[in-house]
Structure 1
Amino acid sequence: MTRTVYVNGEYLPETEAKVSIFDRAFLMADGVYEVTSVLDGKLIDFAGHAKRLERSLNELDMRKPDCFDDLLEIHRELVRLNDIDEGLVYLQITRGAPGDRDFAFPPEDTAPTVVLFTQNKPGLADSPAAKTGMKIISVDDLRWGRRDIKTVQLLYPSLGKMMAKKAGADDAWMVQDGFVTEGTSNNAYFIKGNKIVTRALSNDILHGITRAAVLRFAREAQMEVEERNFTIAEAQAADEAFITSASAFVMPVVEIDGVALGDGTPGKRVARLREIYLDESRKAAV
């Protein structure tokens, strides 16, 4: 089935969608993006994603597209046109295609490029990995210093995922100056007793939309949350560990650099956090 995608104001078959070879995202990785999950045909945490998108645009001094205020309806229309019950909507905004390659920003009146497409993922909420858990390795964090901006500069995270794959693991946690920053496409956590530990917000990590929701639900469930730097060794000695992201929700981690956590199976607290997140997110979905 050919998907319908959105490109610069038009809904098109994916086979007819085109973007200029001079687009700044293609030449300079000069673009930002968001991924919003779809459950039961509705969007999860859309308001949070829209707010973070606006922040990313502002941080890069990138022009807001004319369609910005219509993004919710565009997302909904793509979900409808592609009959998505469970899946994802990917949105990318770039600084546009000024007509030639230049390191300097294009004129301010250059129209941004706006692209959206869906990914159909039946069973997204009932992922087998949530029952078996993930194996993680650690890698050096060699990314640029503004990881709080959700840019399309994803080469190193991609390399990190491939390093994990070659090591027989599922993903990688990145380490800088001896401390875990985050996963390749997710935020990282461990649980010791009744306390969740995760890195504090700063320019070093992405300010995860799912992260914010999960920590709020955890506090409401009377769990303690401590936001601070932590080491791989601390996480290996934990009772449980997990990641969060818009596409994985809450996913248990059962092994870190070859060391099994507990008995090597997903723990009850992470399972409960995933259950709470999915239940509450479905209630608030738009």
Structure 2
Amino acid sequence: MAEFEIRSASAREIGLMRDWADEEGWNPGDSDRWAFAVADPEGFLIGRLDGEPVGCISAVRYGTGFGFIGFYITRPAVRGRGYGMRLWQAGMDRLQGRTVGLDGVVDQQENYRRSGFVRAWNNVRFEGVPAAGGGAGALPEGVSLVDGRSLSFGRLAAYDRRFFPQARHAFLAAWVGLPGRRAVAAVRDGEMRGFGVVRPCSGASRIGPLYAADKQVAAALVHALAAEGQGAAVAVDVPDCNGLAMELVAELGLSPTFEAARMYSGPVPEVDRAGLFGVTSLELG
């Protein structure tokens, strides 16, 4: 009888999880795993069958009351044998007693509902080269764009907390600071009015997070971040609960390519949805 075991993933195995996600067509960031690993080093679980990695899940703890499920993958050759359910249970056991979030792909959403998850909104991935002048309009008076890494980390972390259920300092520091990424902030009179990060991926470079006080600021951030790719395509995961964000990607000429439901088990966290133009990551929230 084959022996199946689940344990915390090594740093190398977190990289393997990223490669599996790429094979699934999820277009993970080239260096995302380094930020993921510091978010909760023991929150990445790997399933081994007779010593061979065949499945994974992440169950990352944030603060004392929130957790996020991601990287829920079973390799095609062993699907339908119950190993995925065992990984799921191991991940949920690790987050017991917390509100848990996830981004569920379409064909798994009914399973998540049966596990007690409720849809809060859909995250729709839009891709393409932003149209010149799309989302047109000058920045609001007094607002300027600056290198996000030039701001104090305390300011960035406080601003990020408006859009995420718990503080995530270690993750955020790595997410913004990894080589090959660009972070841009919108500032007026010392107050942050927007923030975004772009990172290289296997396919279109992904923008996330994308926070903004209004559509004009969000448009300016997208154009500034997209300029890093010198005309290459970008992608952003847009919450459909933000009507202005959906308007913006249409004006930018971006096309929908992928969709997942943001779902929660437990109370739906209160975040600034009106300012959330693009989520950080479908894997870690």
TM-score, normalised on structure 2?
0.29
More strand by share: 2
TM-score, normalised on structure 1?
0.29
Which is bigger in relative contact order (C-alpha 8 A, separation at least 6)? 2
